[in-house]
């Protein structure tokens, strides 16, 4: 690869490479505002005037990888047929900025070699992928991991995922998904952190930090992409891709903050969402992508469309044809087009005809080049492409151990009557019954491109490590399952959703346990045997009958590579459950969207019996069966001694203390939560909002003081003028084990 071949002298290339390295070594945080604004290294900047319009458009054209069918094809609608050879040809002609969901280092090596040897300007390619919850080591689905209420865990799994991804030639992940999801019908809530803004912000930031590690240029870092901008989780009726009509206040209070947190943590890219926003599709929305994102927040990074998001402006009834769609998306602020090819096809002509300013094209190209520089690709286009490293860095014992730890810490115990759990390790016979008790399926969960159930460990395999005699019955024949149950001392029922029931385009009209499995649980419950229900799910479910009443009930989600071992760790008490619901489990599907931080209404039903003409459903209070934040441990936690540093908050922060005591017989970790309610405000405020949480691990009999600090900024909301505001007056507060538990309640006044 000599300098001549690159089209620039080798000396200039090396000098440029050094400059690029220095440029990209700046911390991710600084990069945030600098990508696209800070001058590029001179050698890279010098490329721009040399590029043809077609080459510029090529830098904005990202396609699903075609190598061996490309993993992307199974997770997205079929695209225009493209062969690997065609893509190599496009690379040579400078028509492709990179590909996504490709197939590892070998593919990347071949494509990158083509780019840096045989294209005119030798601009390196960018390799992207949906690394949502691990690559080949699969971690719990993000919603499950959010249940850990432990951002540091999310940081660690994202780091491990990035190491595997970067070892496979991947530079850029389409993650984290930071959409607040309050409608459990929507299938994609599984990819995010649930209904709460604080938890969503903390998880967003932690995942970005984990993906990007010590800095984007590091060979084991991948660039993060906060998605989907914005309010994609608020589609009407929970229907995927559906229209969204929420107020600007709701955007600012609920849907924007996790994106702001991701950017503050250094995410250099963002993906525009598929949905329209009060009539203007996000992908063609200049208010969103320019006024708010660029001008108000100062975001200097790259905006990429979702998969054919630009082309879909036609189906939205917003653009008249592909050319119009490209123009509208591009002028609105979408820099890079994913999969439609429309930018490549139309931008050169749009610029030539004066319909798109050349300056806008250069600006978008500059952002792409800045990202490639930041990722260190101009310094060494092969820094993440090493087939040898790919072999040694995948599914290491350390990452598999982390998957097991993360799995156990994601399991939420909703009930444990009479301390049925943990199960005895000997002396009792256990029957594992239900479709998810064994069989190596539905373990890794939705939206995983590279992992397989084949490489994951199922429940029966893990349980038999401890109890080799545990019996297994898939529950398909209820009479036989009843006989299996009768022959055992304790029944463990593994039921719930399959992994295709959540994820993209998998909205459900009823968020219930499938009927045949409900019938199975009813039949087993009727035997009178003690039973434990393990709920496999990618969303909140409305539980009824013998499932809702199960003596022991665990939400086990989809835990990934170490699904079975993680569940067994909880079942046998090697690990005490410590996770909490990141989404409210309502009483019925008809309550959805149900979330704890709702407003009061003018006619709230007081605690207790349902009253006439109050806000409740026929026969159902407007509350959760299992609220956000709920989750039990193997300890017995008691909260006492609420103390506030002052009854009034002025400019000094308020300190709030309480004591937590473990009166149980096992060491356990409690997630203590702080909620507030602004009693009277010029804009009505939610009945409760979580402001802080902390994890406390207590041995039997131990007690610990927990301390929270509230500042004036914590009491801010989007005021009538749509600006952050705080208003003096009374606030209620609670230190509680869930969003709907009374816990310890107090009051203070903001001066």
Catalytic residue ranges: 306
Nearer to ligand NOJ, 100 or 634 (CB): 100
Q: Does 130 help bind ligand NOJ (rule: CB under 6 A)?
A: yes
Q: Which string of x and - marks every residue 483-522 that binds ligand NOJ (by CB under 6 A)?
A: ---------------------x------------------
Angle separating helix axes 397-408 and 563-571, nearest 10 degrees: 50
Are 65 and 101 within 8 A, CB to CB?
yes
Query: Among the candidate windows 69-77, 259-267, 471-479, 507-515, which touches ligand NOJ by CB under 6 A?
Result: 69-77
Residue nearest to ligand NOJ (CB): 174
Establish if 276 lies at the interface with ligand NOJ (CB under 6 A): no
CB of 525 to ligand NOJ, least distance (A): 39
Minimum distance between the CB of residue 682 and ligand NOJ, rounded to whole angstroms?
A: 37
Site for ligand NOJ in 340-379 (CB under 6 A): none
By C-beta, is 119 or 275 nearer to ligand NOJ?
A: 275
504 touches 449 (CB < 8 A): no
User: Residue 18: enclosing H or E segment and its boundaries?
Assistant: helix 10-24
Token code pair at residue 184 = 């459990």
Q: What DSSP letter does each residue of 104-172 carry, written as one string?
A: HHHHHHHHHHHHHHHSSS-PPPEEEE--SSBSSSBPPPHHHHHTTT-HHHHHHHHHHHHHHHHHTT--E
DSSP run (H or E) holding 329: helix 322-332
Number of residues that bind ligand NOJ (CB under 6 A): 10
- Give residues with Cβ within 8 angstroms of 516, minimum separation 6: none
Q: Which span sits near ligand NOJ by CB under 6 A: 68-76, 158-166, 384-392, 710-718?
A: 68-76
Using the rule CB under 6 A, give the single segment among 70-78, 204-212, 509-517, 665-673 that binds ligand NOJ.
70-78
Can you tell me which of 75, 328, 364, 540 binds ligand NOJ, judged by CB under 6 A?
A: 75
Q: How far is C-alpha 135 from the chain's CA centre?
A: 15
Minimum gap (Å) between residue 361 Cβ and ligand NOJ: 24
**Shortest distance (Å) from residue 413 CB to ligand NOJ:** 31
Of 171, 271, 227, 209, nearest to 28 (Cα)?
Answer: 209
- Looking up tokens 């041995």, which residue turns up? 699
Question: In whole angstroms, how close is the CB of 101 to ligand NOJ at the nearest point?
Answer: 6
C-alpha 516/C-alpha 525 separation (Å) is 14
Does residue 133 interact with ligand NOJ by CB under 6 A?
Answer: no
Indicate whether 174 belongs to the interface with ligand NOJ (CB under 6 A).
Answer: yes
C-alpha span between 554 and 436 (Å, rounded): 13
Q: Is 450 among the residues that bind ligand NOJ (CB under 6 A)?
A: no
State the nearest-atom distance from the C-beta of 227 to ligand NOJ, in Å. 6
Report in angstroms how near the CB of residue 20 gets to ligand NOJ at its nearest. 27
269: contact with ligand NOJ by CB under 6 A: no
d(C-alpha 616, C-alpha 598), whole Å: 13
- The runs of H, that is alpha helices, within 213-275 are 248-250, 257-264
Among residue numbers 99 through 128, which ones bind ligand NOJ (CB under 6 A)? 101
Which listed range, 21-29, 71-79, 450-458, 616-624, lies at the site for ligand NOJ (CB under 6 A)?
Answer: 71-79
76 binds ligand NOJ (CB under 6 A): yes
Q: With respect to ligand NOJ, which residue has the nearer C-beta, 130 or 714?
A: 130
What whole-number distance in Å separates Cα of residue 345 and Cα of residue 357? Answer: 16
Binding test (CB under 6 A) with ligand NOJ, winner from 20, 31, 66, 72? 72
Q: Is 535 helix (H, G, I), strand (E, B) or coil?
A: strand
The least distance separating ligand NOJ from the CB of residue 224, rounded to whole angstroms, comes to: 12
- Return the closest-CA partner of residue 108 out of 169, 41, 42: 169
Q: Which is nearer to ligand NOJ, 282 or 375 (CB)?
A: 282
SS (H, E, C) 196-221: CHHHHHHHHHHHHHHHHCCCCCCCCC
Q: Does residue 227 belong to the site contacting ligand NOJ (CB under 6 A)?
A: yes
Closest residue by Cα to residue 219 from 267, 160, 135, 162: 162
* Residues binding ligand NOJ (CB under 6 A): 72, 75-76, 101, 130, 174, 227, 306-307, 504
């Amino acid at each position: 690869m000599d300098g001549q071949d690159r089209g620039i002298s080798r000396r200039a290339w090396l000098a440029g490479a050094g400059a690029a390295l220095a440029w990209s070594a700046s911390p991710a945080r600084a990069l945030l505002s600098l990508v696209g604004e800070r001058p590029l290294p001179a050698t890279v900047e010098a490329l721009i005037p040399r590029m043809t319009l077609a080459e510029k458009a090529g830098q904005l054209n990202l396609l699903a990888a075609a190598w061996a069918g490309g993993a992307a094809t199974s997770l997205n609608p079929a695209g225009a047929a493209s062969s690997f050879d065609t893509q190599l040809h496009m690379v040579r002609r400078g028509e492709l900025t990179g590909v996504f969901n490709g197939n590892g280092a070998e593919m990347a090596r071949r494509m990158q070699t083509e780019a840096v040897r045989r294209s005119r300007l030798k601009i390196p390619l960018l390799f992207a992928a949906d690394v949502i919850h691990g690559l080949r080591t699969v971690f719990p689905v993000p919603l499950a991991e959010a249940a850990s209420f432990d951002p540091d865990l999310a940081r660690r799994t994202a780091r491990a995922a990035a190491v595997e991804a970067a070892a496979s030639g991947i530079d850029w992940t389409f993650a984290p998904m930071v959409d607040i999801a309050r409608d459990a019908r929507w299938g994609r809530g599984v990819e995010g952190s649930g209904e709460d803004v604080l938890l969503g912000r903390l998880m967003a930031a932690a995942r970005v930090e984990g993906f990007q590690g010590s800095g984007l240029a590091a060979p084991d870092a991948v660039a993060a992409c906060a998605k989907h901008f914005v309010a994609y989780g608020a589609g009407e009726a929970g229907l995927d891709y559906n229209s969204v009509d929420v107020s600007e206040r709701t955007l600012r209070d609920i849907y924007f903050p996790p994106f702001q947190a991701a950017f503050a943590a250094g995410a250099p890219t963002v993906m525009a969402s598929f949905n329209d926003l009060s009539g203007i599709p996000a992908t063609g929305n200049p208010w969103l992508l320019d006024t708010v994102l660029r001008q108000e927040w100062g975001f200097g990074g790259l905006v990429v469309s979702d998969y054919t998001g630009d082309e879909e402006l036609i189906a939205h009834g917003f653009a008249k044809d592909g050319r119009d769609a490209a123009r509208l998306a591009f002028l609105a602020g979408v820099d890079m087009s994913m999969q439609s090819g429309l930018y490549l096809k139309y931008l050169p002509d749009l610029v030539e005809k004066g319909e798109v300013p050349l300056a806008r094209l250069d600006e978008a190209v500059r952002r792409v080049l800045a990202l490639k520089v930041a990722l260190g690709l101009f310094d060494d286009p092969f820094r993440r492409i090493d087939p040898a490293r790919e072999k040694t860095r995948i599914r290491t014992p350390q990452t598999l151990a982390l998957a097991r730890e993360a799995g156990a810490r994601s399991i939420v115990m909703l009930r444990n009557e009479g301390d049925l759990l943990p199960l005895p390790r000997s002396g009792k016979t256990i029957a594992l019954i239900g479709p998810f008790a064994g069989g190596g399926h539905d373990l890794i969960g939705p939206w995983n491109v590279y992992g397989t159930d084949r490489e994951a460990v199922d429940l029966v395999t893990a349980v038999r490590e401890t109890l080799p005699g545990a019996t297994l019955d898939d529950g398909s024949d209820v009479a036989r399952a009843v006989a299996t149950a009768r022959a055992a001392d304790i029944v463990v029922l593994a039921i719930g959703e399959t992994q295709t029931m959540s994820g993209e385009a998998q909205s459900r009209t009823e968020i219930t346990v499938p009927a045949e499995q409900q019938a199975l649980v009813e039949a087993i419950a009727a035997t009178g045997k003690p039973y434990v229900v393990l709920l496999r799910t990618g969303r909140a479910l409305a539980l009824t009958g013998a499932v809702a009443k199960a003596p022991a009930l665990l939400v086990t989600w989809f835990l990934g590579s170490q699904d079975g071992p993680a569940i067994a760790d909880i079942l046998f008490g090697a690990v005490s459950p410590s996770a909490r619901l990141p989404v409210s489990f309502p009483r019925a599907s008809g309550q959805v969207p149900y979330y704890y931080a709702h407003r009061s209404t003018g006619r709230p039903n007081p605690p207790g019996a349902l009253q006439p003409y109050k806000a409740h459903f026929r026969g159902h209070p407007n509350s959760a069966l299992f609220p956000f934040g709920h989750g039990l441990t193997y300890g017995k936690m008691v909260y006492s001694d609420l103390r506030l540093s002052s009854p009034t908050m002025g400019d000094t922060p308020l300190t709030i203390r309480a004591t937590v005591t473990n009166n149980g017989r096992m060491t356990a970790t409690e997630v203590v939560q702080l909620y507030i309610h602004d009693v009277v405000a010029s804009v009505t405020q939610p009945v409760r909002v979580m402001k802080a949480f902390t994890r406390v691990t207590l041995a039997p009999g131990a007690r610990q003081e927990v301390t929270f600090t509230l500042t004036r900024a914590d009491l801010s909301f989007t005021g009538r003028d749509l600006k952050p505001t705080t208003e003096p007056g009374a606030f209620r507060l609670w230190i509680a084990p869930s969003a709907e538990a009374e816990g310890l309640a107090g009051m203070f006044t903001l001066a």
